[in-house]
Amino acid sequence: MIRLDNISKQNGHQILFIDASMGVLKGEKVGLVGPNGAGKTTLFRMITGQELPDDGQVAIDAGMTIGYFSQDVGEMSGQSAVAAVMDGVGPVSALAAEMAKLEAAMVDPDQADEMDAIIERYGEVQERFEELDGYALEARAREVLAGLSFSQERMDGDVGLLSGGWKMRVALARILLMRPDGMLLDEPSNHLDLESLIWLEAFLKDYDGALLMTSHDRAFMNRIIGKVVEIDGGSLITYSGDLDFYEQQRALSEKQRQAQFERQQAMLAKEIKFIERFKARASHAAQVQSRVKKLDKIERVEAPRRRQSVQFEFRTPPRSGDDVLNLRNVHKSYGNQSIYAGLDFQVRRKERWCVLGANGAGKSTLLKLAAGTTEPDKGTVTVGASVRMGYFAQHSMDLLDGEETIFESLDGSFPQAGQGALRTLAGCFGFSGDDVEKPCRVLSGGERARLVMAKMLFDPPNLLVLDEPTNHLDMATKEMLVAALADFEGTMLFVSHDRHFLGALSNRVLELTPEGVHSYGGGYTEYVARTGQEAPGLHPNG
């Protein structure tokens, strides 16, 4: 269905692919993996024809439709979210837009003279809209948007007024509504809350076309894909199975290659020693010559490329008192919308609370109240004795000075630390070598998040309040962060849509529902086992 045959591709001085091949068949769900900058997005762009390979060919079945979702969402404004989603399906959306215009014209007294013509045209447009099954399509568009957590109000509002994250969802909904023969999804799990993520997972499991996708969300990938294609040093290597199986296989083949490499190195050393020892002796000339020829013919085994993953080790934070945080009879509203009415919530030392709740339930508000960036309308928020708080929110990333380099930013926060310690810290969070000289203004969302996290954890507080800390992080950084936080000796209160993160780090759950606030002893994994659902408001497998 989709085939790449012996493709080569170079971007500037960087060689991305050399004679690389792969294929995706109808019904296959394939995860594309590789380090940042390996060429995942370039591969998608070659399949869609936006870029051409330097060599080799990309073959796609005749008549096959392909939907491509990328992080680069184009300009959207002047239409509702529903209309923007239907836009992807062709003429139906244009007819829907014309019907809306004609409906407005029918009640406009200034156009009373042209009413007959307007009504006649409306009849023609409506008939064509019905022929194309427009009403069913609109219902389906609304269903997809609802799955991605859109309220009716947001569906009908101007798409231009939405934040970047919500526009991403509109772009994703457009591809899902198309139901093309092949879908290329570049990080579809970014910017989604847990409920939307679980809905999308179910949608993609039922999709019967060819799917090729990237995602930094391990649980999400594992539940959908049955095959992995890895970009590794210019090659495309295919593994059957999910992400966990691929990692086992890759570790095994690296171990075998290392053993093969070491055996060959030992043999080569022995041969070279013989040649060096006897090359001056005429009596051994024939033997030396034959061994030199033999060495020339041997195909060298390459040492496996070492994947750099640096572990970050926490300093021990200062001990806090046993009562870390206390919210008593807290009321909080925004306009007419009451978020909390009489909330009582207590956090004690070493507890790790994850906060679950559908969009608008008040998760971020709770964290802002705890961090003191928002005041309650009524009630009290008390931070305990000797508590030092670190608060990570999406806006923390906007507080970096764009003119400073990564190193200057770290050095400004920790002038006593010394260059070696700061370079090690930068390396743990994915900034190696010359990366530390990049100015903050050119950093991607993921790089900015990693820098803010590094600054927060170098001299760790004893209470971490984290609002979606993994939103922009790649899988390797996430793994490092989970490993580091697992050993953290302080207290945590956090919101995350990453189920691996939730399961690995929480030991308490606070569930926010329309019926009230519920707390569960035991972490996220126990919560799922007890409630039969992965997020509040979802039915088992629903």
Per-residue confidence in pLDDT tens, the chain, 542 aa: 899 999 999 988 888 999 999 999 999 999 999 877 788 999 999 999 999 999 999 999 988 889 999 877 777 778 889 988 988 776 777 788 788 889 889 988 888 888 999 999 999 988 888 887 788 888 999 999 999 999 999 999 999 888 888 999 999 999 999 888 999 999 999 888 899 999 999 999 999 999 999 998 999 999 999 999 999 888 999 999 999 898 888 888 888 888 888 898 888 888 888 888 888 887 778 888 888 888 888 888 777 665 555 677 778 899 999 999 999 999 999 988 899 999 999 999 999 999 999 888 899 999 999 999 999 999 999 999 999 999 998 788 788 898 999 999 999 999 988 888 899 889 888 888 888 999 999 888 788 888 998 999 898 899 999 999 988 788 888 888 898 899 889 999 999 999 999 999 999 999 999 888 999 999 999 999 999 999 886 644 43
* Angle, CA of 475, 481 and 484, to the nearest 5°: 145
CB burial of residue 291 (10 Å; 0-12, 13-18, 19+): middle
Q: Are 388 and 316 in contact (CB under 8 A)?
A: no
Q: Are 144 and 96 in contact (CB under 8 A)?
A: no
Rounded CA separation 78/320 (Å): 52
Helices 115-131 and 134-147: crossing angle in degrees, nearest 10, is 70
Amino acid, res. 539? H
What are the C-alpha distances in Å from 41 to residues 32, 61, 76, 176, 187? Answer: 10, 21, 22, 19, 10
Q: What CA dihedral angle connects 127, 128, 130 and 136, to 10 degrees?
A: -150
How many Å from the N-terminal Cα to the C-terminal Cα in the chain?
31
| The model's pTM | 0.80
Tokens of 193: 């809350």
Strands across the sheet containing 352-357: 389-392, 463-467, 491-495, 352-357, 508-513, 516-521
CB burial of residue 295 (10 Å; 0-12, 13-18, 19+): middle
Q: Are 194 and 534 in contact (CB under 8 A)?
A: yes
What are the C-alpha distances in Å from 462 to residues 106, 207, 209, 376, 469? Answer: 64, 45, 49, 23, 17
